[in-house]
Structure formats: C-alpha cells, structure tokens
Amino acid sequence: MEALIKKRINQVLKGDQNAFGEIVELYKDKVFQLCFRMLGNRHEAEDLAQEAFVRAFVNIHSFKINMKFSTWLYRIATNLCIDRLRKKKPDYHLDAEVAGTEGLNMYSQIASDTLKPEEEVASLELQESIQAEITKLPEKYRSVIVLKYIEELSLKEISDILDLPVGTVKTRIHRGREALRKQLRHF
C-alpha cells in the first residue's frame, strides 16, 4: 500500500495529475469520515475533505518520502478541521433551548442531512445522537477520540498527526473518554 502510494506520489511530482486521482480514491473515505466526525456536518465535511486533498496536491513537494503518507494527509485534514472549528465559535449553542419552547433545543431544528437515505437503518437515530455527543466534545479531545476510535490509529500515529507528545495524546484520550462516559452513560 505505502509502496504503491509512493510510486503514485513520484508520478505526481513529475506532473502527472491523474496519478493523484488514484491517491484521492484510496483515501477519500477515511479523510471524509475524519472531517465528518470532527465537524458533525456532511456538507462542511465534504468541503474540507476536498480542500485537504487540494492542499496535499499543492504541497506534495514538501511531503517527505520516508514519512507515512496517511499521517501527513490526516495532519492536513485535522488541522483544517481544527481551524474551521476555532473560526466559527458558535454564536448560539446547540444545547440552548429555542426561545418560547420547552425541551426543544437546536438539534431538533437541524434538518437531518447527515446521512444518505440508503444508509438509513434502525439505529440511525442513535448514530446521530452519538455524533451529536462527539461534536459536543472540546476540539482538543474530539480530535484524539476521532483519530483513535473512528480512524483506529495508534497513539504514535496520532501523536505524529497532531504533532504532540504521546503522553499528551494519552492524557487527552483519557479526558475525552471521561467526557464521553458522562455524556453517553444514559444511552
């Protein structure tokens, strides 16, 4: 896998854009998933996942060939998501009750555009609720939790992606898990 990717990268470096198309095919689901779990919004996730690939293409010459490509790519995607989350500090909280209603918060106001109809399963509602809980996590815990439990990466890889010491990653996973435990205990 990595050998194939490296071959494709060399082709891209020589100016072959089509070789990059193959790289996108291989990683699109992972990157899209990462962005979706980070942002909790399908439309924004698509935007940022595409942006991540475009940036990877533009900066492909700065990719060090002895590095793992996925690590580098996830780093670009994660940083884009974190930037986006920091920029749009929500001016209204999703948890806040809508004025004049009782027990009705902003979640119920959002059109459920997060999953395609063909993916509709019995557990759809549960899935959405879990995603909502992930979205509630502070950004620094959310990124480690998503990388660990959704992308199933090792602590070492997460530390490479976020450019943080393994110890810090560990602490953040612990805090994130504590937060999730409190949020999800009544599910």
Partner 1 sequence: MNCHEDIIEYMHDYLDEDITSEHQEILRSHLQTCSECREYFHEMKKAVALVQSTSHIKAPDDFTARVMAQLPKEKKQVGAKRWFKQHPLLTAASLFIVLMTGSVFSTYNEDQQFSVSKQPNLIVEGETVIVPEGKTVEGDIIVQNGDIRIEGQVDGDVTVINGQQYMAAAGNVTGQIEEIDQAFEWLWFKIKHTVKSIVYPEAGEKSGEEN
The residue ranges that bind partner 1 (CB under 8 A) are 14-15, 17, 20-21, 24-25, 28-29, 31-33, 36-37, 46, 49-50, 53-54, 57-58, 115, 119, 121, 123, 126-127, 130-131, 134, 145, 149-150, 155, 170, 173-174, 177-178, 180-181, 183-185, 187
Residue 105's SS3 state is strand
Q: How far is the CB of 103 from partner 1 (least distance, A)?
A: 23
Contact 79, 7 (CB under 8 A): no
Nearest distance, CB of residue 71 and partner 1, angstroms: 19
Cβ–Cβ under 8 Å, residues 31 and 52: yes
The region, left, alpha or beta by phi > 0 then psi within -120 to 50, assigned to residue 65 is alpha
Identify which of residues 92 and 187 has a Cβ nearer to partner 1 in the complex.
187
Min dist. Cβ of residue 130 to partner 1 (A) = 5
In the complex, the smallest distance separating the C-beta of residue 100 from partner 1, rounded to whole angstroms, is 33
Cα–Cα distance measured from residue 48 to residue 54, given in angstroms and rounded to the nearest whole number? 10
Q: How far is the CB of 41 from partner 1 (least distance, A)?
A: 12
DSSP SS3 for 6:
helix
SS3 11: helix
Beta-bridge mates of residue 105: 97
Q: Which C-beta is closer to partner 1: that of 75 or that of 177? A: 177
Which CB, 50 or 71, lies closer to partner 1? 50
Nearer to partner 1, 98 or 115 (CB): 115
Q: How far apart are CA 50 and CA 52, in angstroms?
A: 5
Smallest gap from Cβ 17 to partner 1, in A, equals 6
**Phi, psi dihedrals of residue 105, rounded to the nearest 5°:** -105, 180
Q: Residue 4 or 184: which CB sits closer to partner 1?
A: 184
Q: Which is nearer to partner 1, 52 or 85 (CB)?
A: 52
d(C-alpha 57, C-alpha 105), whole Å: 41
